[in-house]
Amino acid sequence: MPDKNLPKKWKKEQKVVKAIQVAFDIGEEFQYRLRKEALDLGVNPSDRVRQILGLPTNKRAQRPRLSISLSEVDFELLAEEFGLEKDNKVAIKQKAAAQLITYIKNSRED
């Protein structure tokens, strides 16, 4: 909803800035191949789709990170596993990251 306090020019630009998220149902095999290609190229899958479609992509460097959604129950389970208080979400996140790093180091295909 446009802000009443914005100048007219900005109100018009505000309408243009809005984007619509689009999902493509292209099948499991094609999604896998596209995601792998994006990984091999060092870009995220959304940027790879934009490249394939000839659309501009974000030129600024992206932080390489993995993300998942954790419920309160997930935090409770992880807190118990790590011996932490369930409200200490920063420490839980740090321990989870350390566990992921250890897993990857131990499962290398050298």
Kindly report, residue by residue over 33-86, the tens digit of the pLDDT.
Answer: 999 999 999 888 888 999 999 999 877 666 667 788 999 999 999 999 999 999
The pTM score is 0.56
Query: Do the Cβ atoms of 41 and 48 come closer than 8 Å?
Result: yes
Q: Give how far Cα 10 sits from Cα of 13, 15, 84, Å.
A: 5, 9, 48
pLDDT at 9: 67
